[in-house]
Amino acid sequence: LYALTFPWLSSLPHALVALTVMGVAFRLHRTTPGIWGLLLLSLPVVATAQFYVGWPLRLMTAGAAEFLLDLIGMEISRVGTVLWWQGHPVGVDPPCSGIRMLWVGLLIHFLLLANHHVRLRALLWLTPVMMVVIMAGNVIRATLLFFKESGAVPLPEWTHTGIGLLVFGGILVVLFWLHRKAAGAPLIETFVESNWSKVSQWSFAVAVGLAMVAPLANANRAAPEKVADTAFPGWPESWEGRDLVPVPLTEQEVAFEADFPGRLAVFRTAEGPWSRRIILRWVNRPTRKLHSSVDCFRAVGFTMKAQSVSSGEGERWSEWVAYHSTAGRFRIRERLWAGEEPAASWTEVSAWFWDATLGRSEGPWWAMTVMEPESRID
């Protein structure tokens, strides 16, 4: 299976297939389904899940919160994932209502499954129920936080975290109660173990050999044809009144651009060693490869802290503070916009991806990341 799918699947599905094959080979089917769930969560899926599922989850959370607030007589208007009340915007942001609470909830869920040896049939109904409970908790959390963040109820700053902990505690109470109801049954019927025990060691050795040869067979494949970018208008020469100086791409960036559906460039402003660094990407079709630069900063060791979305001169930016023990502290800003319609803009990649995929925005598009030093460590 791994060898046959190697030429067509990307890295993450490859890892999932390899995990499944190894699990079968080493008789992990005999163990509790909770172990399988934990192995699945061990894959680097958070960034990908946030890209595809994060925006729809937050949109659903914001819509449900709007409905609950309307029920109690508050006149709420919603624009995307932002709730407005008396001129005060309250955003349902990724750290609060993205994929992370769902991931942590599922982690505890699978740990309890492994500990209680819950059988497979219980897993099949218990996991969807827990996902619904976690998403309902997200809605309750967003609704309660609205009162604080909008100023409708004056509360100290620590209550933001406190409300989140309180709601998540309620989710855990429900989770533990459901698991107590489902615990105690044997994992799966014994005939499955007896059938799987007949798997030949020689068959497994042949399968491993094929899996090792698959990458070699794939090495001579022609690189995927790069999408035509004849409409590329060229890079800007200045930004905010300052000249842009091109910065040579690294080897990793050159390799990334090779099959990127568009163009990639890095610039700095002409301000000396403390100049701003600007990453520009031009893309002509929806793609997973246009991911947030925040993921790249995290990958090289930066600690990222989300700030509120900023607005200025008709432009909306998502803002982050990035800290590195040797590089220093930086302010990161990011935005995306449509090339033919600059008024159509986004502050996060997931929202852009779905608008572009569903035809609500026509390409090509631009993405800009600005890295501004706040302090340096020499």
* DSSP conformation class of 327: T
For residues 336 and 365, the answer to whether their CB atoms sit within 8 Å is yes
Amino acid residing at 52: Y
Amino acid residing at 255: A
pLDDT at site 6: 52
CA distances from 89 to 95, 210, 244, 306 (A): 17, 56, 34, 17
pLDDT at site 197: 45
H/E segment holding residue 78: strand 77-79
**Would strands 88-91 and 238-239 be described as parallel, antiparallel, or unpaired?**
unpaired
Name residue, tokens 């061990």: 42
pLDDT at site 280: 93
Closest CA to 333 of 369, 294, 296, 373: 369
CB atoms within 10 A of CB 187: 19
pLDDT at site 188: 38
For residues 68 and 143, the answer to whether their CB atoms sit within 8 Å is yes
CATH architecture of 238-375: 3-Layer(aba) Sandwich (3.40)
pLDDT at site 2: 52
Q: Strands across the sheet with 82-85, in order?
A: 77-79, 82-85, 88-91
Length of the chain (residues):
378
pLDDT at site 95: 55
91 forms beta bridges with 82
Entry pTM: 0.65
Give me the residue spans of the domains in the chain: 28-190, 238-375
C-alpha 303/C-alpha 187 separation (Å) is: 41
CA neighbours closer than 13 Å in the CB half-sphere of residue 364:
18
pLDDT at site 192: 39
Helix ranges (DSSP H) in the chain: 2-5, 11-25, 33-41, 46-49, 55-71, 94-97, 100-116, 120-149, 158-182, 190-196, 201-219, 251-258, 293-299, 349-357
CB atoms within 10 A of CB 266: 19
Question: Token pair for residue 53?
Answer: 């599922």
Q: What is the pLDDT of residues 171-190, one digit of tens each?
A: 889 988 888 777 654 443 33
Q: What is the pLDDT of residues 63-96, one digit of tens each?
A: 898 999 989 888 888 877 778 888 777 777 655 5
pLDDT at site 365: 93
Q: What secondary structure does DSSP assign to 203-253, as a single string? A: HHHHHHHHHHHHHHHHHTSPPPPPPP-TT-----SEETTEEEEEEPPPHHH
C-alpha 19/C-alpha 35 separation (Å) is: 12
Q: Which residues of the chain have pLDDT under 70?
A: 1-31, 43-47, 93-99, 183-230, 271-274, 307-314, 375-378
